[in-house]
């Protein structure tokens, strides 16, 4: 098999081994301690962990800065002892009663101040865990009804917040993870185009990148591999959250390739064609186990996602490029479609 151009290492977050609760019913699996999740990670084929700030340091709003830093350093030791790297720390700005009406874009100046202060703590945790990458998912920066916020002001408030973060730490790199809806009805930074444009509005576009998540692209009605390609063309695809999504529903975070194998193939293919990971980018699996899954099989979604990634990588590197070029030249896309399907399904061609 031809050698792959990409350099892949994989990560997930503690929220990706969950208890199966949903808005309509309680949890169905018992919680797994974070230490155990970290221990499990390598055995599942992963090398890195992603954190929200309060995954790394629980209840941080009630702790002093010194206490937060001491706990973050302790977490670094735990990761080191397991040989696990931290990919990023993301501020969890959607949980506090202070951010009900948004964080950086709240109408309440006290809420906006809280959001910035909390993000600075998140940056400090990033540094303690020796990562310079902070992911920002702008969960509550949007509206439930259009009239409640001014979209121009919202955009500028987010830009100002990003500038404050970039000024706070000169080595910080920010990856904006867009999502069009959920929890809000309409997010202001809804697609990868918005995320990249936002970066260019800041004082340090060179430290602004983005993260494409499969499900979020699908929720925006877009093709995730095209979103990845658009970000790659800008040199801004600094991480991905692979998963799957059955159309315009709630954010499902299904196992990678679970719904649409061809979509999944094209995501792996575009990453592979552009040597993803060569600059240290990680492949994150932001996947969730089905609620029906029993306690004893609560990590299959992670290993299954990884297995499919590797299988589809094999399909990407063995895709007949010469034939592809010939069929494109002949504008015989029906035949290219047939070849692609035959290749993916292992049919004789
Ligand atoms: C939300 C989502 C988050 C981010 C990190 O849909 O994907 O878990 O990945 O905050
Ligand atoms: Mn995600």
Domain assignment of residue 3, yes or no: no
| Packing angle of the helix pair 192-201, 151-168 (nearest 10 deg) | 60
Q: By three-state DSSP, how is residue 191 classified?
A: coil
339, 311: one domain: no
268, 346: one domain: no
Q: How far is CA 143 from CA 156, 180, 183, 188, 349, in A?
A: 15, 11, 10, 8, 51
* pLDDT computed for residue 1 by the predictor: 86
pLDDT digits (tens, 9 = 90+) for 118-172: 999 999 999 999 999 999 999 999 999 999 999 999 999 999 999 999 999 999 9
61, 187: one domain: yes
186, 295: one domain: yes
Could you tell me the distance, in angstroms and rounded to a whole number, from the CA of residue 112 to the centre of ligand 1? 20
276, 193: one domain: yes
* Mutate-to-test residue for ligand 1 from 210, 213, 250, highest number of ligand atoms within 8 A of CB: 213
Domain assignment of residue 216, yes or no: yes
Ligand 1 atom 5, closest CA = 137
252, 292: one domain: yes
337, 275: one domain: no
pTM: 0.98
Domain assignment of residue 4, yes or no: no
Chain centroid, CA 141 distance in Å: 17
21, 131: one domain: yes
The CATH number for 62's domain is: 3.20.20.150
| Total domain count, the chain | 2
Element (H, E) at 273: helix 261-273
266, 327: one domain: no
Range of the domain at 51: 10-318
308, 341: one domain: no
Low-confidence ranges of the chain (pLDDT < 50): none
238, 328: one domain: no
187, 332: one domain: no
Going by the DSSP 8-state scheme, the letter that residue 165 receives in this structure is H
* Mutate-to-test residue for ligand 1 from 254, 286, 288, highest number of ligand atoms within 8 A of CB: 286
Whether ligand 1 lies within 6 angstroms of the CB of 251 is answered as yes
């Amino acid at each position: 098999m031809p050698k792959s151009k990409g350099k892949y290492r994989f990560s997930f977050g503690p929220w990706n081994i969950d208890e199966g609760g949903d808005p309509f019913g309680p949890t169905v699996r018992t919680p797994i301690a974070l230490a155990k999740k970290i221990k499990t990670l390598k055995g599942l084929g992963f090398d890195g962990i992603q954190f929200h700030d309060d995954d790394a340091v629980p209840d941080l709003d009630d702790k002093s800065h010194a206490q937060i830093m001491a706990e973050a350093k302790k977490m670094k030791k735990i990761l080191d002892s397991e040989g696990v790297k931290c990919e990023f720390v993301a501020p969890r700005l959607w949980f506090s009663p202070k951010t009900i009406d948004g964080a950086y874009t709240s109408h309440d100046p006290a809420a906006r101040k809280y959001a910035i202060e909390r993000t600075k703590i998140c940056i400090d945790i990033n540094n303690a865990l020796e990562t310079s990458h902070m992911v920002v998912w702008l969960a509550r920066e949007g509206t439930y009804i259009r009239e409640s916020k001014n979209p121009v002001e919202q955009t500028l408030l987010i830009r100002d917040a990003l500038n404050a973060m970039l000024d706070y730490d000169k080595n910080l790199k920010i990856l904006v993870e867009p999502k069009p809806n959920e929890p809000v009805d309409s997010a202001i930074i809804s697609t990868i185009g918005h995320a990249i444009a936002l970066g260019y509005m800041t004082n340090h576009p060179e430290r602004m990148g983005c993260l494409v998540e499969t499900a979020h692209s699908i929720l925006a009605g877009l093709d995730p591999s095209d979103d990845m390609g658009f970000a790659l063309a800008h040199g801004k695809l600094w991480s991905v959250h692979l998963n799957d999504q059955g159309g315009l529903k709630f954010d499902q975070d299904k196992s990678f390739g679970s719904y649409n194998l061809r979509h999944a193939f094209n995501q792996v293919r575009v990453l592979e064609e552009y040597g993803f990971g060569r600059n240290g980018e990680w492949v994150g699996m932001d996947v969730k186990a089905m609620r029906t899954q029993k306690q004893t099989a609560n990590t299959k979604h992670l290993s299954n996602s990884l297995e499919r990634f590797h299988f589809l990588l094999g399909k990407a590197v063995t895709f007949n490029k010469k034939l592809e070029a010939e069929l494109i030249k002949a504008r015989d896309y029906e035949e290219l479609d047939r070849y692609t399907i035959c290749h993916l399904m292992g049919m004789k061609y």
